[in-house]
Amino acid sequence: MGNSKAVERKIPLNEKAAQWLGSQDLSRPVLSNMAASELPFQRWFHFKEAFAPEFVAKVIEGLPYDPQHIVDPFAGSGTTAITSRLLGKRSTSIEVSPLMADLVRAKITAVSAAKFREAVNIVLRRLRPTERDQLLPKLMPPTFTEPGVKGRYIFPMEVFALARAILRRSKKLDEPEARLIKIALASCLVGNSNVRVNGKGRRYRSNWQSKEPTANGLMWAFEKACNRICEDLLDFALLPHGQQSVLQGDSRAMLGRIDWADTVICSPPYPNSFDYTDVYNVELWMLGYLQSPEDNHALRADTVRSHVQYRWPSADGLLKDLGSSTLQETLSDLVDRKDQLWDRNIPDMVAHYFNDMRKVFDSATRFLEPRGQVIFAVGNSRYANVTIDVPKILAEIVQPLGFERCREEAVRSMRTSAQHGGQNELAETAVSFILKGGGS
């Protein structure tokens, strides 16, 4: 997909954008966000599933045309949006998680560093948690603070109350500054809790009872997070302000709001059974994005069907509509090994996942410019030694819609789960499709 010199030649960059992209090695194949975790903007909140900004830059540089409007249906931490902004490109990001949608908005909204620093001072000035801050909201799970359930709780009371006090005081601020405060707080919640979080949800830390976090530790982490944000706002104060928008909601529905675009770049959830509403469940509840179990249930239902934590309806009848022989063979193999699967609903989940991906491509035919491209960063999965070949299945299900696979590049190998030996055997791939005709 080109190299750093090609990017500098084809894409006019302001000084700060050139510096930002210049800190990344654009000549190497990359998809994971590991190398970008300390970049400005990217360091505001750790998003394990993010792909690297250099990937977006390389994709844009490698296109046979100059993209004018880039759509990301699965915005995540906003890598496509912030890279598009730095490159002076218009973008529309769609994100189902209200937390992540706010994170993307925070990254693309111009805020004065001085005004943000003043907002932080307002929040911290004479900050004293009250009895109100110690109260568990009526419908919040009781495990969030002491006494918890059976002696287990996520936050000691002093940490819980301080976080709630910071959130309460931030509500008096203007929306852009309040949003940045929430992101700074979100970035240090799990690190100052009794739990750790991975792709399968949260687990209590070993020996957590003997080394609980403190309010002082949360305050230190929060002030450090605010300082990082302030530094980046100051360093990148002269970036272009407009041409980025964010839509919060189910991408399968929200894509209908887009009138025109010429490029889609995204990394959708992989069919790996990760429930991303669980991964960020602590932040969603603590920051008020979820206020009831029903909210949690609704958010999970609106996500792409890449996990089994929500009981999806039977996928019977989908195979004929999807028209993929590879998918049919894969599902047949999974059904044959159902007794070896850790969840018997995995075959239905896989079928629903590709049906959701087809819906995304179907929507793109309506707004995408003729000869426009869709670039998906995707990863394979494996269950009971049956590999889900995502690029091949995608190519088969979108071909009837008018898409042709024009390029595929393996960019990383992912480690399989422990039951499959934990080896780097699953391909992570950037696959490009071109719309052969015009939209309807």
User: With 60 as the cut, is the pLDDT of residue 115 above it?
Assistant: yes
For residue 13, what pLDDT is reported?
57
**Which residues on adjacent β-strands are paired with residue 407?**
432
| Mean pLDDT of all residues in 157-171 | 97
User: With 80 as the cut, is the pLDDT of residue 433 above it?
Assistant: yes
User: What domains, with CATH codes, occur in the chain?
Assistant: 4-98+240-274+304-435 (3.40.50.150), 113-235 (no CATH)
Most confident of 118-132, 230-244, 331-345: 118-132
User: With 80 as the cut, is the pLDDT of residue 35 above it?
Assistant: no
For residue 177, what pLDDT is reported?
97
pLDDT-based confidence at 87, cuts 50/70/90? confident
Rg of the chain (C-alpha set): 22
Q: Of 113-122, 157-166, 204-213, 405-414, give the lowest mean pLDDT range.
A: 405-414
433/13: higher pLDDT: 433
Tokens of 296: 């949690």
| Mean pLDDT of all residues in 70-94 | 92
Q: Are 322 and 355 in contact (CB under 8 A)?
A: yes
The rounded distance, in Å, linking the Cα atoms of 316 and 45 is 40
For residue 272, what pLDDT is reported?
82
What distances in angstroms separate CA 31 from CA 55, 379, 414, one per listed residue? 6, 10, 11
Q: What element of type H or E holds 184?
A: helix 175-186
What distances in angstroms separate CA 328 from CA 109, 208, 298, 304, 392, one per listed residue? 45, 46, 30, 20, 12
Tokens of 349: 């989940």
For residue 51, what pLDDT is reported?
76
User: With 60 as the cut, is the pLDDT of residue 32 above it?
Assistant: no
Mean pLDDT of the residues in the chain: 86
Tokens of 388: 């889900």
Q: Are 114 and 121 in contact (CB under 8 A)?
A: no
For residue 405, what pLDDT is reported?
93
The rounded distance, in Å, linking the Cα atoms of 314 and 311 is 9
For residue 420, what pLDDT is reported?
40
User: With 50 as the cut, is the pLDDT of residue 440 above it?
Assistant: no
pTM, entire model: 0.89
Which parts of 264-382 fold into alpha helices (H)?
276-279, 281-286, 293-302, 318-322, 325-336, 346-367
221/21: higher pLDDT: 221
Q: Of 18-22, 126-130, 253-257, 319-323, give the lowest mean pLDDT range.
A: 18-22
| Mean pLDDT of all residues in 380-409 | 92
| Mean pLDDT of all residues in 285-292 | 96
| Mean pLDDT of all residues in 240-255 | 88
pLDDT in tens, 308-364: 777 777 777 666 678 889 999 999 999 999 999 888 888 888 999 999 999 999 999
| Mean pLDDT of all residues in 79-96 | 92
